[in-house]
Amino acid sequence: MATTKKTNKTSSFSKYVRWFWMLFFAGILAIVLVFKLAAWGVFGEMPDHTQLENPRTNLASEIISSDGKTLGKFYFKDNRTPVDYKELPQHLVDALIATEDVRFHDHSGIDARGTLRAFAFLGKKGGASTISQQLARQLFVGVRSKNKLETATQKIKEWVIATRLERQYTKEEIIAQYFNIYDFGNNADGIRSAASIYFDKEPRELDIKESAMLVGMFKNSSLYNPRPDRNPEGTKNRRNVVLSQMQRYGYITETVKDSLQKLDLGLRYTPQSHRHGIATYFRAYLQRIMKTWVKDKANRKPDGTKYNIYKDGLKIYTTIDSRMQKYAEDAVKKHMPRLQAEFFHQNTKRRNPTAPFLELTYGAIDTLMRRSMKQSERWRHMKYDLNIDDEDIKKSFYKPVKMTIFSWKGDIDTILKPIDSMRYYKSFLRTGMMSMEPQTGHVKAWVGGVDYKHFQYDMVKQGKRQIGSTFKPFVYAAAIDQLHLSPCDTFPRSQITIPAYKYGNPEPWSPKNSGGNYTGFLTLKAALANSVNTVSARLINEIGPQPVIDLAHSLGIEQDIPPVPSIALGTPDLSVYEMVAAYSTFANKGVYTKPVIMTRIEDKNGTILFQFTPKTKDVLSEEVAYVTVNLLEGVTHGGSGTRLRHNTKKDQAVYKEIVTGYPYEFDNPIAGKTGTTQNQSDGWFMGMVPNLVTGVWVGAEDRAVHFKTITYGQGASMALPIWALYMKSCFADETLKVSKEEFEKPDNLSIELDCDVYQGNQKKNKREDDNPKIDF
C-alpha cells in the first residue's frame, strides 16, 4: 500500500516536471514564433537589409564657409547634419551609457537582465529599452501607441530590429546614429545641431556639464527644454541626475560631480533658421541658385531623380569667409544705428511734417503709400491666398493689429495699423555690402541689408540703385584707353555744354559742379579725387558715351545703359554685386573675373557632384588698369575719401554722430571712390586694396527718404564708415592676409604718373616746339 502511494507520488511529480518542461519549451517556442512573426512582418512592416543599411532620414544640406565653418543649412523640418563617432567627445558617450544603457557593451540589442527586472516590477524600477532598441524605435517603429496591444507589438518589433542593428553595425556606429537621429527640440535635430543651437559649439567642443544636459534631454526634450522661457530649472535637475549616474558608474569622481551640479546650464542659445544666424542674405541668394541647380538634368542622382536641397544632406562649399562675414555684419551693426539715430533726429514731425519723406506733397505721399500697399506681402497673401476683395484688403490696412516691429534696440511687440507700420519701415536706411578677391572672384562677405527677418529684399544682388560718381572711373578708364591720358594731364574746371542730339541727348546738357566752383585747371587725378563733374563731361564729350557703355558691359555690368552724356555722372541704376565685380577688374590688372560664391557641391557621402571654376576675360591692358587704380588712390589722399587717413578735430566735431569709428588713420595704399546721388538719396563707397575689393551702398527704400544736406547724406558719411570699420577688422586679423602692400606696377609703363616729372617733360617739349632745330 505504501509502495503504491510512493509510486503515485513519483508519477505525479514526474507529470509536473513534464508539464514544466512542456510549458518552458512552449514558452521558448512561442517567443521564437513571436519573433519570427515579427520578422516576417505580421505585426507591421519591417525594414529589409537595404533599409537597415541606409535608414530613411532627412538630412539638411549644409552651407560651409571657405574656412570650414557652418554658415547655415537648408531644411524643411529636420535640421540634421550627421557626425561620426570620432567627432563625439568621450564624456558625451559616457553620459549616454551611464544614463540610458549601462550594459550597452555587454548585450546584443536586448538587455535580458533589465527586461526581467522590468517584467518583475512592471516597469516601476526602470524600463529595459537599450540604446539599440531606442534607435530602432526612432528609425523604424515610431511614436509609442496608446493602445496596449499595439504597444506590445511595437516593443516586439523594437527587439527584433535592435538585434538586427547589432549585427549590421558596430557599437560605435549605433551610438553615433542614436545621437544623430534624436530631436532635441527648437530645430535641434541630431547632436551637431543641438550643440550648435544650445551652446554655439561643435560636438567635440562640448564640456562634461553640457554633454550631461544634452543626454538628459533624451528622456523628453519637450519637457526638459533649457530655453529661459521654457524649463531651465527642470533641465538643470535632469542634467544633475545624469551627472550622478556618471559618478555612480565611475565615469567621474564625486568631487567633479558635486562641483558641476552647482553650475548653471551655461546656455548660449543660438536659434537656427532661415531668418537667423550669419550670412542670411547670402544664404537666401544661394538657396535660389541651388534650386536652379537641382533642376538641371545634368545634375541628377544616379537613379535619374532630382536632388532635394532640404532632405538629401548636400554639402555646399562656399567662398564666404565666416570671419570676414562677421566683420562685415559687425561693421553694419556699429554704423547703421548711429546713422539712423541722426536721421530720426533730423526728421521729427516738428522738423519735417511729411517725415520720413522730403520734397513730396501730401498727395504724392498718399499715392506712394497706396502703391506700396498693393506691392506688400500682406496684400498678396490676402488677395491670392485668401481670395479677399480689394476694398476689404484696403480696410484691413487701417485696422490696428498686434505685430512685432524692428528697432535697432531689439524687436518691439506693439499694436499698429499696417499702413502705419509700412510708413515706419520706410523711415529706415538700408545697406548693401559685398567683398571679393579680385584675382579669384571669390566673394568673401555679403551683407544684403540691416536685418533679414524684417527687411528681406537683398541690396547686394536684387536691389539696383543710382550709383553717382562711382561710375566716373569707367569714364576715366575709357578715356585713358582711347586717348592715352596721364593722371597728370590738365583740364579746365569751367562749365561745358554738350549740344542737343550730339550723343542722343534731346536737350543741351550742362552739368554743374558741387559747390559751384568753375575756375582754374585740374589734373585728371585731382578731378577724380574731388569728383568734378565738368571734367567728367569733357572726357565723355571727347570719346562719346558708347565706348564707356561697352567698357561697363565688359566689366560685368548687366544693366542696359542709355548712350547719353549724362551717364558720366552716374545716372544708371546698378547693383553692389555688379560694381564690386567691375572695380575688381582694375585691381586684377585689367582681367574681369565673374564673382564666384561656391567652389563645389558634394553629396552626403562626400562624392563631388559639381566643381566651379572662375570665368575670366581680358578687358583692359594692365597699363590702363594700373593708371586707373593710381587715379583712385588719389581719392583717399586728396579727395572725398581722405577721412580714411586724417585725424582732424573738425571732422570729429561735425561728424561725431555718424562717422562711426573715426579716426581711422589708414597708412597703407587704398584706391577708392565715393558716390552721392541727387538729393543725397544714395551714398556709395568703393574701396580696394591689392587682394580685396569691397563696395558699400546706403540709402532708403524710397528715394524721397534721405538726409536734407550733403554733410550727412554723402557717400563719405553714409557708406565709407562701414568700409573702414570692416577693413580695420580684416587688417587686425592677420590670419586673413589682407594686403597692405602697394598695387603691383606693370614692368613697361609708358604713361607717366609722377606729375613733377610729367610737367617737366611738358615744359621741355614746349621749349623744343618753340625753338625748332634747323638743319643747315
Average pLDDT of the chain to the nearest whole number = 88
Are 276 and 83 contacting, i.e. CB atoms less than 8 angstroms apart? Answer: no
Given this model, what pLDDT does residue 129 score? 80
Q: Give me 583's grid cell.
A: 572695380
Whether the pLDDT of residue 769 is over 60: the answer is no
Per-residue pLDDT at 130: 86
Query: In terms of pLDDT, which residue wins out, 631 or 653?
Result: 631
In the predicted structure, residue 256 carries a pLDDT above the cut 90: yes
- pLDDT band at 158; cut points 50, 70, 90: confident
The contacts of residue 365 (CB under 8 Å, 6+ apart) are 354, 357
Q: Give pLDDT, residue 773.
A: 40
E strand or H helix that includes residue 446: strand 443-447
Question: In which band, very low, low, confident or very high, does the pLDDT at 145 lie, cut at 50, 70 and 90?
Answer: low
State how far the Cα of 674 lies from the Cα of 684, in Å rounded to an integer: 5
- Among residues 151, 182, 186, 191, the alpha carbon closest in space to that of 44 is found at 151
- Phi/psi at 114 (5° precision): -65, -35
CB 346 within 8 A of CB 707: yes
Q: How far is CA 403 from CA 373, 411, 570, in A?
A: 17, 10, 40
Determine the length of the chain. 776
What's the alpha-carbon Rg for the chain, to the nearest Å?
36
Q: How confident is the model at residue 144 (pLDDT cuts 50, 70, 90)?
A: low
- Judge whether residue 324 has pLDDT over 60: yes
What integer pLDDT is reported at residue 131 of this predicted model?
85
- First-to-last C-alpha distance (Å) of the chain: 170
Q: Mean pLDDT lowest for which of 139-143, 161-165, 464-468?
A: 139-143
Q: What percent of the chain has pLDDT over 70?
A: 85
Give the pLDDT band (50/70/90) at residue 775.
Answer: very low
Give residue 699's pLDDT: 97
Confidence tier at 108 by pLDDT (50, 70, 90): confident
Q: Note the pTM of the prediction, 2 decimals.
A: 0.87
Classify 610 as helix, strand or coil: strand
pLDDT average, residue stretch 293-319: 93
Q: Which helix (H) or strand (E) holds 671?
A: strand 671-676
DSSP string, 202-218: -GGG--HHHHHHHHHTT
How far is Cα 653 from Cα 687, in angstroms, rounded to an integer?
25
What residues are paired with 490 via a beta bridge?
A: 523
147 pLDDT tier (thresholds 50, 70, 90) = low
35 C-beta neighbours (distance < 10 Å), count:
15
pLDDT 10s digits, 267-286: 999 888 888 889 999 999 99
Higher pLDDT, 47 or 560: 560
| Residue bearing the bigger pLDDT, 397 or 770 | 397
The predicted pLDDT at position 754 comes to 82
Phi, psi of 458 (to 5 degrees): -80, 120
Partners of 255 in the beta sheet? none
Q: Which of 176, 135, 174 is nearest to 158 (CA)?
A: 135
652 pLDDT above the threshold of 90: no
Say what the pLDDT of residue 764 is. 53
Burial 39-74 (b: 16+ CB within 10 A, else e): beeebeebbeeeebeeeebbbbbbbbbbeebbbbbb
- What are residue 608's phi and psi, to 5 degrees? -75, 120
Contacts by 270-276, CB closer than 8 A, 24 or more apart: 270/196, 270/197, 270/198, 270/200, 271/186, 271/187, 271/197, 272/72, 272/73, 272/79, 272/187, 272/188, 272/193, 272/196, 272/197, 273/187, 274/72, 275/452, 275/453, 276/453
Question: What is the full DSSP assignment across 359-418?
Answer: S--HHHHHHHHHHHHHHSHHHHIIIIIS---HHHHHHHTTS-EEEEE--TT--EEEEE-H
- Got the DSSP string for 313-337? --EEEES--HHHHHHHHHHHHHHHH
- Identify the CA nearest to 237 among candidates 268, 216, 207, 255: 216
Half-sphere exposure of 721 (CA within 13 A, CB side): 27
Q: Tell me, what's the pLDDT at 152?
A: 59
Q: What is the pLDDT of residues 415-441, one digit of tens each?
A: 999 999 999 999 999 999 999 999 999
> DSSP letters of 693-713?
EEEEEEEESSTT---SSHHHH
Provide mean pLDDT across the span 242-262: 95
* pLDDT tens string 438-471: 999 999 999 999 999 999 999 999 999 999 999 9
Phi, psi of 286 (to 5 degrees): -60, -35
In the chain, % of residues over pLDDT 90: 72
DSSP state of 733: -
Contact 178, 219 (CB under 8 A): no
Q: Are 464 and 575 a contacting pair, CB within 8 Å?
A: yes
Contacts of 114 (CB under 8 A, 6+ apart): 103, 126, 127, 128, 130
pLDDT at position 137: 79
Please state, in angstroms and rounded to a whole number, the distance separating the CA atoms of residues 739 and 753.
Answer: 22
pLDDT of residue 63: 96
Phi-psi group of 266: left, alpha or beta (phi > 0 → left; psi -120 to 50 → alpha; rest → beta): left
Average pLDDT over residues 716-735: 97
d(C-alpha 482, C-alpha 465), whole Å: 29
Q: Which three cell numbers stand for residue 194?
A: 543641438
Average pLDDT rounded to a whole number, residues 58-64 = 93
Confidence of residue 95 (pLDDT cuts 50, 70, 90): very high
As beta bridge partners, residue 674 has: 685
With 90 as the cut, is the pLDDT of residue 686 above it? yes
631 Cβ partners below 8 Å, 6+ apart?
473, 476, 487, 524, 525, 528, 529
Q: What is the model's pLDDT at position 122?
A: 47
HSE-up of residue 170 (Cα within 13 Å, Cβ side): 5
